[in-house]
Amino acid sequence: MNLGTMEPTAEKSENGTCGLCEVKWPCPFLLEDDLALITGGGSGLGLAMARCLAAAGARVVLAGRGEDKLKQAAASIGPRADYYPFDVTKLHEAPALVDKVDKRFGPITVLINNAGIHLKKPAVETTEEDFLKVLTTHVLGSHALSRAVAPEMMARRSGSILFIASMASLFGIPNVVAYSAAKSAYVGMVRALATELSPHGVRVNALAPGWIETDMTRNAMQGDPERQKKILDRTPMGRFGTPDDVGLAAVYLSSPAAKFITGVVLPVDGGASIGF
């Protein structure tokens, strides 16, 4: 893969390697036989992950509520990308989505549970309705889709389910009680699903992005320079992340290169989770 252009460049060379490194072909970092369903794939991190997975050879199907956004996103990736409008909170519709994708493109080999909403509100002002909305989107929505793809993956003894967790899964952050509860639930879900599915060849992991420059973070930071400074002061690498930083980590965890990795929550955070 050309990391500058995100175009796949690897080709089998005469000595049986891709020419980028000495690993024997087929390169374990490529996803050429894969079909990835990415929720929230129309923007931000979901789109970046879709772009990186496509550059590594995968076909990608983007799912989200806004059809125009999805259409544009798929077009920006090119012929390896398609989309289905889908609301992850419509839990009972998950099996039908998986079925439609399967019939049109073939079996889903990679599921990325990325769709999410942010809610910045003091805990004492957070209502049950707020809380349920965030939990339904993140926790129940990703469970419903994971439940829908898992049987086929287990039958094929192969597959990867990736959750997009957060720094809020790892430590306490003020004013995000519902979001933190939802993202912390991912950690439990990843561990529980890994123990159930991995004996059948399905790997289940999470990425915990640090502070990455997307609309979601920009909105959360708006007018809060103190918060920005606090984040950068605790990040050893001294910068916000880029969506491609997360995309490349998603390629790795979804690829055969990570074939013995399951049940982990990998921070992609420039060291923010260990910074002082």
Instruction: Provide the binding-site residues for ligand NDP, judged by CB under 6 A.
Output: 39-40, 42-46, 64-66, 69, 86-89, 114-117, 137, 164, 166, 209, 211-212, 214-217
Strand order in the sheet with 159-164: 81-85, 59-64, 35-39, 110-113, 159-164, 202-209, 265-268
The C-alpha atoms of residue 115 and residue 142 are separated, in whole angstroms, by: 8
Q: Using alpha carbons, list the distances in angstroms from residue 275 to 93, 183, 193, 264.
A: 42, 20, 30, 20
Q: Is 83 a catalytic residue?
A: no
Nearer to ligand NDP, 154 or 181 (CB): 181
Nearer to ligand NDP, 10 or 251 (CB): 251
The C-alpha atoms of residue 91 and residue 209 are separated, in whole angstroms, by: 25
Catalytic residue among 83, 84, 179, 186: 179
Q: Using alpha carbons, list the distances in angstroms from residue 274 to 130, 171, 268, 270.
A: 31, 11, 11, 9
Nearer to ligand NDP, 152 or 213 (CB): 213
Nearer to ligand NDP, 87 or 244 (CB): 87
* Minimum separation from the CB atom of position 188 to ligand NDP (A): 16
Nearer to ligand NDP, 46 or 57 (CB): 46
CB under 8 Å to 257, separation ≥6 — which residues?
28, 29
Catalytic machinery residues: 179
